[in-house]
Structure 1
Amino acid sequence: MAPKSYQGVLAHAEEPRTYSQTPESNLAQDVITVADLLREKGGIVYTIAPGETVRSAVHELRARRIGVVLVMEEDGIVGILSERDVVRRIDEAGDAGLDTPVSALMTPNPQTCNPSTPLLAVLRRMTDGRFRHLPVVEDGQLVGLVSIGDVVKARLRQLEYEALRMKQMIVG
């Protein structure tokens, strides 16, 4: 028989335990949405008219250090033009491709999301569709643009926060 000092606590002598932290209190419960991302990032979106030249679009892309412009008419988004679209056109047509109207190169009717869309759903759509930018539309109005970089950055921040909370739970 083990010495008394090695015996476990008797069942009737157990005191109620309290927990200062639980998995529920330490893990993020909120679903991050596009609206959350736009609140931090802002809603600035650069646009161009469909009749403008690719040369004009390239100038905007370079001057603003961006990878995409939305092609807009008065009634809304008609397309999206990315750096990749421009590179393909220049490869096909050389310098003459720069004088092509944006409407000839743009991806027409791009997919969109709304501010309440969860970021994980946006990430899946971008990955499955193999595109890097998604216009954000609410009630038929453009309210922002999210990139794959924006989404990944927000998701990494969320995962780092969850890891920190888990460490706090383990350490106590």
Structure 2
Amino acid sequence: MANVQSILDQKGTTVFNIKPDDTLSHALLQMAEHKIGALLVMDDQGAVKGILSERDIVRHFSRKTEHPNTALVKISDVMTKGVTYVKPHQSLDDCFQLMTAGRFRHLPVIVDDKVIGIISIGDVVKAALEERDFQIDQLEHFITNPY
């Protein structure tokens, strides 16, 4: 049965991050360069302080009557501070439930207070579809080759 660790085994454990005092323009450049939808916000010791997603950026700009210079906006003013995370043993269903209830698309994976990866809703959907296809193949094989 697929779980968070099986997703990390396939996609890898690279985590792109930014510091709370960095600027929004720096974050935008990183997100565009790496083609990602979120950055973990971490301090110098590697502790998670928040997460910055595309949705956070849109919300930030939608509240402004004039658009501030992104070089002046601090990440700590835009990020989501309460970060929901998962552990490697958790199931795909756990991830779906957390993401649906919290209305977010990225989950850091943490073990012993250390970030070991990050998964997206796309990663979870892909893994769930692969698991479903495998189960269908197994059932078809059993039906066509009962002995």
TM-score by length of 2: 0.91
Partner of 1:170: 143
Q: For the residues of structure 2 that align with 1:106 and 1:73, how far apart are their CA atoms?
A: 13
Q: For the residues of structure 2 that align with 1:150 and 1:55, how far apart are their CA atoms?
A: 27
Offset of residue 80 of structure 1: 0.2
* Long gaps (5+) in structure 2: none
Aligned-partner SS, 1:81: strand
2:13 matches 1:40: no
Percent of counterpart pairs with the same letter?
35
Aligned-partner SS, 2:31: helix
Offset of residue 97 of structure 1: 5.6
Partner of 2:97: 124
Offset of residue 95 of structure 1: 3.2
Aligned-partner SS, 1:108: coil
Deviations 1:7-52 (A, max 9, x none): xxxxxxxxxxxxxxxxxxxxxxxx2121111011100010000011
Q: Check the 8 A contact 1:89/1:97 in 2, yes or no.
A: no
Partner of 2:59: 88
Q: For the residues of structure 2 that align with 1:125 and 1:48, how far apart are their CA atoms?
A: 24
Give the letter aligned to residue 44 of structure 1.
T
2:129 matches 1:156: yes
Q: For the residues of structure 1 that align with 2:14 and 2:23, how far apart are their CA atoms?
A: 22
Offset of residue 129 of structure 1: 1.2
Aligned-partner SS, 2:108: strand
Q: How many equivalent residue pairs?
A: 142
Offset of residue 58 of structure 1: 0.7
Deviations 1:102-146 (A, max 9, x none): 001111030111111112211111111111000000011110001
Q: For the residues of structure 2 that align with 1:130 and 1:88, how far apart are their CA atoms?
A: 14
Q: What value does the CA root-mean-square deviation take over the aligned residues?
A: 1.2
1:143 to 102, 116, 136: 116
> Which portions of structure 1, spanning 4 or more consecutive aligned residues, are displaced by more than 3 angstroms?
none
More helix per residue: 1
